[in-house]
A = this chain, B = another copy of it.
Amino acid sequence: MPEDLRNRVDRQPTVAGLSEADLLARIFPRLRMEDSHTINTVLGPGDDAAIVAAPDGKTVISIDTQVEDQDFRLLWPNGYRTTGFDVGWKAAAQNLSDINAMGARATSMVVSLTLPVDTPVSWVEDLADGLTAGIRELGATQCSVAGGDLGRGREISVTVAVLGTLDGGRPVLRSGAQPGDILALAGTVGHAAAGLALLESDVAVDTLAPAERVFVDLQSRPRPPLDAGPAARAAGATAMLDISDGLLRDGGRLAAASNAGVALDPAALARLAGLLAPAAELLGADAEAWVLGGGEDHGLLATFPAGVQLPPGFTAIGSIHALGTDEGPGVLTARRPGDTGGWDHFAH
């Protein structure tokens, strides 16, 4: 925890003063959900493991970690302080998005928290509230937290493993795109990148207008379109993934897995970039670069056979083509042919 935040919270009770059991007793009540959310929880927290229903005999499973100073800062250059609520919400959102991207629905989460001993108890309670609110407000109507683990570390780290069900259907993989398919987007792209740029700028967060502030909010609490994944599967999507590392990089993954070419429609890109104008103008930044390289909105990128009516929430942004001679799988844009930049945890 940065020194200034450590000082700021000096008078607050920290986790150092609590046993693991005491801390769990503070967290569990905040993870309670309505019955509809716990319908898949056969056995909840309190034993060596939890038990979750898998009605069709299969469990979809993904895992994702957020680490302090890598995935979020407690204090940003523009003065914004990341709350426990933000971190909890984001942990829920990015994991729910992985289930969404298979065309599945989330059934349960387990959470492993690593906390420095000087973490305020209130920050951890706030994280539990954010997890619960994220699950509920994003519409994961049959998902709840079934269990977890607590431990110490030098930096805050939050790992969520999320379980889901395909309701007897087939998953939508990255590898099924066919030449002639429509490429479509659900949710936003570039908003979280614009928010990140604002957080890292010297424009004080409390001076932002609502039309600018919205991007900071999307970076802190992403809103993956959880209805869109199962809807895309039902509509016959041939391939799908969530955009966590940018349109170029994730589009490149879809192209590589499907051994095809992805072409982005310049008019669609211009329209998506236009949505980012308030932040781009404030910072003198390139909105299209946010659209192409920005992840963390957790929108869905999916392909559909030509002629299919796109499900609600999806708009066409390009197409799939067969690879030409000497053409490798990749993403073509008017701007940067073949470039599949974007976010990589190690090489940047």
Contact = CB atoms under 8 A, between A and B. Distances in A.
A344 B19 contact: yes
Interface string A146-168: 11111111110101011110100
Contacts of A163: 59, 61
A279 B126 CA distance: 45
A51 interface: yes
Contact of A117 (B146, B173, B257, B346): B346
Contacts of A110: 61-63, 161
Contacts of A346: 15-16, 18-20, 22-23, 117, 150, 152
A19 B347 contact: yes
A55 interface: yes
Contacts of A57: 53-57
Contacts of A18: 346-347
Interface stretch (A2-10, A94-102, A189-197): A94-102
Nearest to A104: B49
A81 B15 CA distance: 30
B111 A147 contact: no
A90 interface: no
Interface residues of A, number: 73
B49 A164 contact: yes
A336 interface: no
A63 B159 contact: yes
A114 interface: yes
Contact of A52 (B23, B59, B102, B242): B59
Interface in A81-117: 97-99, 101-102, 104, 108, 110-112, 114, 117
A173 B42 CA distance: 12
A47 interface: yes
12 contacts: A15-B346, A22-B346, A42-B58, A48-B62, A48-B102, A48-B241, A51-B166, A53-B57, A63-B148, A63-B149, A65-B159, A150-B345
